[in-house]
């Protein structure tokens, strides 16, 4: 099968970037993040895209970035927190090994501070995060080959749990 060795999904702040880099290192493959792809292509931060063009425009950019990365990238791929909202993107994920990194709201508060550069969490962040997760959790679970809980674990422990869950080793 072509495409990424594994794809990481989960909410903002769960550690997809940190764990993704560690996984790539352990598997001796490249790391890619679709949010980084969008920022590079647009020349501005995601929060600016949300403010300037709105969420719908950002989601269209995200959908295209996911499709491109799933075709081009052979290493570890991390998707933005809302990438699973798009049905076409979820369908494209079906043949790939996908790890859903999960965490509870208290862990989210601790990790993200639920604050800066999180455009969807600007007002009442705890309530917003809970509502986002209620809307997205089933979508993360739908695309996941494996679910790895990050609560109370170091990035290294999460990395090992993801490798164990997918029984992955260096190519």
Tell me whether residue 17 is annotated as binding: yes
18 appears as a binding residue in the annotation: yes
Hey, is 101 helix, strand or coil? strand
Answer yes or no: is 35 a known binding residue: yes
How far the first Cα of the chain sits from its last, in Å, is 13
Is 143 annotated as belonging to a binding site?
no
Q: Is 110 annotated as a binding residue?
A: no
Q: Is 63 annotated to bind ligand? A: no
Q: Is 169 annotated as a binding residue?
A: no
Q: Assess contact for 34 and 83: CB atoms under 8 A.
A: yes
- Residue 75, marked binder: no
Please choose, from the candidates 95, 77, 65, the residue with its C-alpha nearest in 3D space to the C-alpha of residue 8.
Answer: 77
Helix (H) or strand (E) holding 77, with range, is strand 76-78
Longest CA pairwise span in the chain (Å): 45
Is there a binding annotation on residue 59? Answer: yes
Q: Which two tokens stand for residue 73?
A: 């990238």
Q: Does 13 show up as a binding residue in the annotation?
A: yes
Q: Which residues are known binding-site members for Mg(2+)?
A: 17
Q: Can you say which residues are annotated as belonging to the binding site for ATP?
A: 13-18, 118, 153
Annotated binding site: which residue ranges? 13-18, 35, 59, 81, 118, 136, 153
Annotated binding site for substrate: 35, 59, 81, 136
């Amino acid at each position: 099968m072509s495409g990424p060795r594994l794809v990481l999904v989960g909410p903002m702040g769960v550690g997809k970037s940190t764990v993704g880099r560690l996984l790539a290192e352990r598997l001796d493959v490249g790391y890619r993040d679709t949010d980084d792809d969008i920022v590079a292509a647009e020349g501005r931060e995601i929060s600016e895209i949300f403010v300037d063009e709105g969420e719908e425009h950002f989601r269209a950019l995200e959908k295209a970035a996911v499709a491109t990365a799933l075709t081009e990238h052979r290493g570890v791929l991390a998707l933005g927190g809302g990438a699973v909202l798009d049905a076409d993107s979820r369908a494209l994920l079906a043949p790939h090994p996908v790890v859903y990194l999960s965490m509870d709201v208290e862990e989210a508060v601790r990790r993200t501070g639920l604050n800066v550069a999180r455009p969807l969490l600007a007002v009442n962040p705890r309530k917003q995060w809970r509502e986002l997760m209620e809307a997205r959790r089933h979508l993360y679970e739908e695309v996941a080959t494996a679910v790895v809980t990050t609560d109370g674990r170091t990035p290294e422990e999460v990395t090992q749990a993801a490798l164990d869950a997918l029984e992955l080793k260096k190519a």
